[in-house]
């Protein structure tokens, strides 16, 4: 048997998981069972392959390694010792595994041949995209790969035991003394990461000129320390991407923040003693382009100010899952170069958006509920929301969730809804009870060309009828494409965003409501080129779409109607 195949078997054997880890709830196999299994496998292998007359030691080595691998594979896939008690079942399974190994080896050989043509520098860049534990496994591929993983300019670790991880990282950095790291990612499993040296070795990584730094917790629970991230992170001349999740940050130095190369920053559930931490970070990043902030109810940052000339993408989330009574939250966005914004803040009492002249797309998924203990009146709430909408009124593409639309209901009643004069593409989720205000809502988009209408059915709030009489300007002059989609039914308005989740039984009453929406669009759109209907098979049957469409008057000549079925 060729030596490369034996080496490949050794590689497969070393990458096999331990049975105790694969089956934590199963009783491990006894030594007697394992020995019996090995004997049976050896007999099957000898019977399936003719025994050569020469090179007996190499044959014995091959059989030993092959038997070890097959035994490990069979044990890991078995649920009990009795599963392979039948010799015939065992032989069938072994032959299946033999075929599987041959196919894996052929693919492995083809890949190895292609990799062998690449220089080491390119291979290490490829390995940079793998977690470090997988990168290490490549040392079994061939002699060339034995130490190649040590040259990978990055580490991606998942820490179960902080002390062991520290030792490994220290060894890796010592071997690569003098070289820069492109990427360093460490994910803590659990909260107990406050052992001595964690902050120091992160500081050491930053001092080594790391470009991508990612530190976080996999359990969504903060580590039991508030200074995991060292202060030298605020003075890195090489950082390009920074992601911190569920960690505490030390206060910035008195001389301020200086991150001249940072372009991407992701802050999720961080804690700090400095209430101006986000503002200071942004001000120290002259080329920042992408900012994501998942705010925490206790992050000690009541007012988050985002002021940047270079920022192009901004996402903010703050849920009402947990709050501090009496605490007021606010968010201010002042970014002339901002192009994309995702706003999901459900708790701030003050929302300010200004100087957003470059804004192209905004996704609003907020109820504007404000703090439950604040004294904001209805008039003040309306003024705050109105100012926010005016701040983003120059946008060209907008997505509005059903909870957000419900919060804007009062504007649709009195006709004072903000005008979006530049907007050409709109995706909005309407529950049945709000469909009566659809024409008034569309009056705010006089240049609309593409409308995606997500329809939700609220069982407890279905209207008796739907009378749509007002025709907005966009239907008469600009609207060219409409998509009407059925989305998940929600039990109560304002609780969930429209998503394709599951199919629900459609009420007969929905027939009159949704068919009227389709009729209204076809009979009042003068320049419509395409109407796409996406309903589930159940809804399609109840609404009787095929029978209803020929009865409508289509005002736009040549309008294409596409009736698609969708699964929810």
| pLDDT score, position 481 | 96
Task: Evaluate if residue 252 carries a pLDDT over 60.
Answer: yes
Task: Evaluate if residue 374 carries a pLDDT over 70.
Answer: no
The answer to whether residues 463 and 492 touch, using CB atoms and an 8 Å cutoff, is: no
**DSSP designation for 337:** T
Confidence of residue 189 (pLDDT cuts 50, 70, 90): confident
> Rounded to an integer, what is the distance from CA 306 to the centroid of its chain?
23
Confidence of residue 321 (pLDDT cuts 50, 70, 90): low
| pLDDT score, position 487 | 83
Q: What mean pLDDT comes out for the span 321-346?
A: 83
Task: Evaluate if residue 499 carries a pLDDT over 50.
Answer: no
Counting residues of the chain whose pLDDT is more than 70, the rounded percentage is: 73
Of the CA atoms within 13 Å of residue 371, those in its CB half-sphere come to 18
Identify which of 439, 432, 492 has the alpha carbon closest to the alpha carbon of residue 463.
432
* More confident call, 274 vs 226: 274
Task: Evaluate if residue 357 carries a pLDDT over 50.
Answer: yes
| pLDDT score, position 426 | 97
| pLDDT score, position 23 | 41
Q: Which residue has the tokens 């050569």?
A: 52
Q: Which residues of 281-306 are buried (b: 16+ CB within 10 A; e: fewer)?
A: bbbbbeebbbbbbbbbeebebeebbb
Task: Evaluate if residue 260 carries a pLDDT over 90.
Answer: yes
How much is the mean pLDDT over the chain? Answer: 78
Residue 157, helix vs strand vs coil: strand
Task: Evaluate if residue 354 carries a pLDDT over 80.
Answer: yes
Task: Evaluate if residue 518 carries a pLDDT over 60.
Answer: yes
Task: Evaluate if residue 25 carries a pLDDT over 60.
Answer: no
Identify which of 42, 58, 50, 59 has the alpha carbon closest to the alpha carbon of residue 94.
42
pLDDT digits (tens, 9 = 90+) for 34-87: 777 777 787 777 776 554 444 566 666 667 777 777 777 777 776 666 666 777
| CA–CA separation, 141 and 197 (whole Å) | 34
User: Which token pair is 320?
Assistant: 């009402």
Q: What mean pLDDT comes out for the span 165-178?
A: 80
| pLDDT score, position 493 | 39
Least confident of 2-16, 95-109, 246-260, 529-543: 2-16
User: What residues have CB less than 8 Å from 62, skipping those under 6 apart?
Assistant: 1, 5, 6, 9
Confidence of residue 1 (pLDDT cuts 50, 70, 90): very low
Domains of the chain are: 1-117 (no CATH), 396-567 (3.80.10)
| pLDDT score, position 452 | 96
Confidence of residue 5 (pLDDT cuts 50, 70, 90): low
| CA–CA separation, 112 and 105 (whole Å) | 10
| pLDDT score, position 501 | 37
Identify which of 253, 258, 196 has the alpha carbon closest to the alpha carbon of residue 228.
196
- To 5 degrees, how large is the angle CA 173–CA 177–CA 182? 65
Identify which of 90, 83, 99, 77 has the alpha carbon closest to the alpha carbon of residue 38.
90
| pLDDT score, position 540 | 75
| pLDDT score, position 255 | 74
pLDDT digits (tens, 9 = 90+) for 195-249: 455 677 788 888 888 999 998 876 655 554 556 677 888 999 999 999 998 888 8
Task: Evaluate if residue 541 carries a pLDDT over 80.
Answer: no
pLDDT digits (tens, 9 = 90+) for 413-436: 655 568 899 999 999 998 888 888
């Amino acid at each position: 048997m060729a030596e490369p195949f034996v080496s490949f078997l050794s590689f497969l054997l070393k990458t096999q998981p331990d049975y105790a880890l694969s089956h934590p709830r199963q009783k491990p196999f006894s030594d007697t069972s394992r020995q019996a299994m090995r004997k049976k496998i050896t007999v099957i292998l000898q019977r399936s392959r003719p025994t050569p007359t020469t090179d007996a030691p190499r044959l014995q080595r091959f059989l030993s390694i092959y038997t070890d691998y097959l035994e490990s594979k069979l044990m890991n896939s078995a649920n009990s010792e009795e599963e392979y008690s039948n010799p015939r079942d065992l032989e069938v399974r072994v032959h299946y595994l033999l075929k599987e190994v041959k196919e894996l080896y052929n693919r492995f050989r083809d890949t190895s041949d292609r990799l062998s043509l690449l220089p080491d520098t390119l291979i290490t860049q490829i390995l940079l995209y793998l977690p470090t534990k997988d990168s290490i496994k490549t040392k079994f591929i061939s002699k060339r790969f034995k130490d190649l993983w040590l040259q990978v300019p990055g580490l991606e670790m998942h820490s179960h035991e902080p002390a062991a991880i520290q030792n490994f990282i220290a060894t890796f950095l010592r071997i690569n003394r003098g070289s820069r790291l492109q990427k360093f990612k460490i994910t803590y499993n659990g909260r107990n990461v406050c052992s001595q040296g964690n902050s120091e070795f992160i500081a050491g990584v930053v001092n080594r000129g790391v470009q991508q730094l990612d530190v976080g917790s996999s359990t969504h629970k903060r580590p039991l320390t508030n200074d995991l991230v060292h202060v030298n992170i605020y003075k890195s001349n090489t950082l390009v991407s920074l992601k911190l999740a569920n960690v505490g940050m030390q206060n910035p130095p008195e001389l301020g923040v200086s991150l001249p190369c940072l372009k991407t920053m992701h802050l999720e559930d961080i804690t700090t003693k400095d209430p101006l931490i986000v503002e200071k970070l942004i001000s120290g990043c002259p080329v920042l382009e992408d900012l994501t902030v998942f705010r925490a109810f206790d992050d000690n940052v009541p007012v988050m100010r985002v002021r940047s000339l270079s920022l192009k993408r901004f996402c903010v989330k703050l849920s009402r899952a947990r709050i501090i009574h009496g605490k007021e939250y606010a968010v201010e966005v002042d970014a002339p170069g901002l192009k994309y914004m995702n706003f999901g803040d459900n708790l701030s009492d003050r929302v300010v958006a200004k100087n957003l002249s470059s804004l192209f797309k905004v996704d609003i998924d907020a109820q504007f509920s404000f703090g439950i203990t604040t004294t904001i009146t209805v008039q003040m709430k309306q003024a705050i929301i109105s100012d926010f909408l005016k701040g983003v009124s120059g946008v060209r593409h907008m997505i509005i969730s059903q909870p957000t639309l419900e919060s804007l209901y009062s504007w649709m009643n009195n006709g004072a809804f903000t005008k979006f004069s530049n907007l050409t593409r709109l995706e909005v989720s309407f529950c049945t009870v709000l469909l009566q205000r659809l024409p008034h809502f569309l009056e705010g988009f006089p240049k609309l060309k593409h409308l995606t209408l997500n329809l939700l059915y609220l069982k407890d709030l279905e209207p008796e009828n739907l009378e749509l009489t007002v025709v907005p300007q966009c239907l008469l002059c600009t609207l060219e494409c409409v998509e009407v989609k059925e989305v998940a039914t929600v039990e109560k308005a304002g609780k969930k965003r429209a998503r394709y989740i599951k199919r629900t039984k459609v009420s007969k009453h929905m027939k009159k409501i949704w068919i009227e929406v389709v009729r209204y669009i076809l009979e009042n759109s003068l320049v419509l080129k395409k109407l796409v209907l996406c309903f589930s098979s159940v809804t399609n049957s109840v609404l009787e779409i095929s029978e209803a469409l020929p009865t409508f008057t289509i005002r736009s000549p040549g309008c294409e109607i596409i009736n698609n079925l969708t699964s929810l």
